[in-house]
Structure 1
């Protein structure tokens, strides 16, 4: 079953409006109405309900997925100038490319599935009764060089937790970009009511484990022989931080 088929917005037109905006990141309201061929009165009614229920926001006729994301931040080190900002829909291909390039190193298995998911769904941000998904990116000269991603299923018993992935292209490491991305992601999680953020890594990914430990993360559990990589069994290290 496709993701969109699982949503329950109470009306087919309402679901189509939300999915159109979610797929495009932002969209002009008149464009959505004309593209979907919904009568103007009914369209405004559905948009009003989507805004009331916290799915969409509207600013000067532009509809967006309702997520509080914060501002753009600029940093300038001796070697590189970079920007940390909320991701936009047009960043999708850059994010997928960055994640897959990092994953090619063979030690970021969770990130691989994230890249496949957003590439398949053709949407970055999610905010509905099933899940919330947020991305921030690091850019150099408007090119995506790193990301932080948070995913949280809207399940009561897990509503206080979110899964995080973070990564930076190899040539841009050791400039503090990963630390700034991690900080921005955790700041967003904390401000949105999450109490605990977690992620897993193969035990062979010592760089990631040491990076997280240096930022206050702790190992909660180790699953022995959870991965099989290049014919060898590798443990999974499950790490978390409380906010």
Structure 2
């Protein structure tokens, strides 16, 4: 049985990936901060799909805790076939001179350093096994910059660069690396960006049909399910109503 490790597994894209990979018969290692939600999802998936699920309560920003919980896994759970680096967020939407440095630290520590902390450990396990597939969740913000997106866009440009660098470094070990870059996806993303302001978050998607988390999970599964000799390097996925980071057709 194959195993997938998913970060940020309690909502949005991470949660949809957990459901889809469980449906495909994978056993799961789910990493997230919210213990109640994580345990609820794990119980549901284990019961529905008759798979095994390990839950790890950790914030990817905390390298010491993250390392302890990952290294504390039993040996058989370190045979990770697919790593989905999904944990990520945006905080605030301010011009550079008015940005909140705490928001900057949160985005850099989660989107860049957290991804690195997880990848360092799990890629080591994959190198030992001489196989594996790493999926990095980027963004249209990693392909182009938009007004007031400054630091968030910078973190996703970093993910884009790291995706390329990982593919080079892990090439000799037979490990695939794929970037999945969504445009507008309606998840908790905008609620987090606007710090719980649900009305403001809803306005982001007014007048258009955004992507759903399931759409991105489907794209990830497509990349993972290719034959052994095929790697999807990079995929940019937008709703039909979106042509660029800022150009949207609202009805």
TM-score (normalizing by structure 2): 0.30
- TM-score with structure 1 setting the length: 0.31
Query: Between Structure 1 and Structure 2, which shows a larger proportion of helix residues?
Result: 2
Higher Rg of the two aligned structures? 1
Higher strand fraction: Structure 1 or Structure 2?
1
